[in-house]
A and B are shown apart, each in its own frame.
Chain A
Amino acid sequence: MRIVLDRPRCEGHGLCEEAAPELMHLDDDGELVLDRAEVGEADAARAGAAVRVCPVAALRIA
């Protein structure tokens, strides 16, 4: 599975980083960086949680 970011929609609220700090982080400019977009079974739950908490629905699983 792959995490897909809708970049224009992302406003940098950062809730996804709190849910899955191993997979993504906000950089020094407050822009979201996906450290690992391709995730395996082991990280599926965390990736799902990150997608779920995005308040503006800028993340999805493909």
Chain B
Amino acid sequence: MSNPPVSDVDLFSDEVLLDPYPAYAGLREQGPVVRLPANDVHVLTRYDVIRDALADWESFSSASIAFNPTANEALTGTSLASDPPAHTLLRATLTENLSPRALRGLRGRIEEKADALVAELVGTGSFEAIDALARAFPLEVVADLIGFTGHARENMLRWGQAAMQVLGPMNRRTVESFSVAGELYGWCSEVRAEDLAEGSVGRGIFDAEARGAVPENTAGHIIHQYLGAGVDSTVAAIGNIVALFAAHPGQLALVRANPALVPAAFNEVLRFWPPVNAWGRRVTEEVEIGGVRIPEGAQVAVLLGAGNRDPRHYADPDVFLVERNPVDHLSFGYGPHGCAGQGLARLEAHAVIGALARRVGRLVVGPEVRVPANITRSIDKLPVLEVVPA
């Protein structure tokens, strides 16, 4: 057994955060495991080892999903940062109101909202797609779901961004975001059932607490996880949908011709540009991967975005092809910690893709603007200059 190869890549440099794929290609070729002294992490770079590690919670603990100790301490006791057996009940409590079966009743309303918003934007002819669609739509859905209005609604976007940002290493972005992430935590700690709209899922979580179906004082924490994990990531995914369809009009035409491709198109958007590219784990005892040793206690960065572009698993991985339908992409993670909100994410994204395919022939866009962020890779501005209607 040997030590892994070493690279001077810095995962959290502005350059890599803005476009990680050249760095990922180099790391993947160095080996399935590479050590990065700049970040004091071992990265997993290839599809198979990533998927295996995500399934193997005994060797790869979620006690260190973030890349700084303060965030990991703050997450202690949550489903996100626990391992089985404690994780099992926490997860069940979290997903009780978030699983596809719990969300089925929302589908019609979400589709109507998406269609109305896309119709309105197409009608205006030009718009800024990130504010007007990628942010507006998930915020409306999540506000409706949890049942909040007013102060919380106005702040949810910056709170959601900060909740992801603080999972990075202790750099300037993380330090500046802790107080904002704390505002979200504070709101979730103080919110009461009567603050949330009747009939909302958020109110339902408090009702479940009141009848003893979830432990006392956990409703606020559950809502915190919904909002911390579900806002920024979905905003990124919807922005990516618009940008990738604008850049690949032939792929939009395929979905227009065959709406059954909507789920496949979302899988390919997620594979091609995951909202989250790197996620943490801690090695509980020395493990060997492909003849290479990772020592006990090592911090691991699971490079979801590198695995998604692994030519050992996907042919022509750097090409965006909706028909490939990569159902086994890594962007929601996999296994016991697989994204708990993926059912809601699919509802939202399928609704947006369906509406775009019905109402848009082609999008003419200006240059996209990106701002480096520690965890979520998303587009900050995307001007749609012209909509060629369907």
Contact = CB atoms under 8 A, between A and B. Distances in A.
Secondary structure dominating the interface of A:
loop
A11 B328 contact: no
A57 B335 contact: yes
Contacts of B338: 55-57
Secondary structure dominating the interface of B:
helix
A12 interface: yes
A19 to B, nearest CB: 7
B343 A11 contact: yes
Interface residues of A, number: 18
A9 B343 CA distance: 15
Interface in A26-57: 26, 29-31, 52-53, 55-57
Nearest to A57: B335
Interface in A1-38: 8-9, 11-15, 18-19, 26, 29-31
Instruction: Name which of A11, A12, A26 has the most chain B CB atoms within 10 A of its CB.
Output: A11
Nearest to A27: B101
Interface of B: 55, 88, 92, 95, 99-102, 104, 327-328, 332, 334-336, 338-340, 342-343
Interface of A: 8-9, 11-15, 18-19, 26, 29-31, 52-53, 55-57
Given A13-B99, A55-B332, 13 more contacts: A11-B101, A12-B100, A12-B101, A13-B100, A13-B342, A19-B327, A26-B101, A29-B101, A55-B334, A56-B335, A57-B334, A57-B336, A57-B338
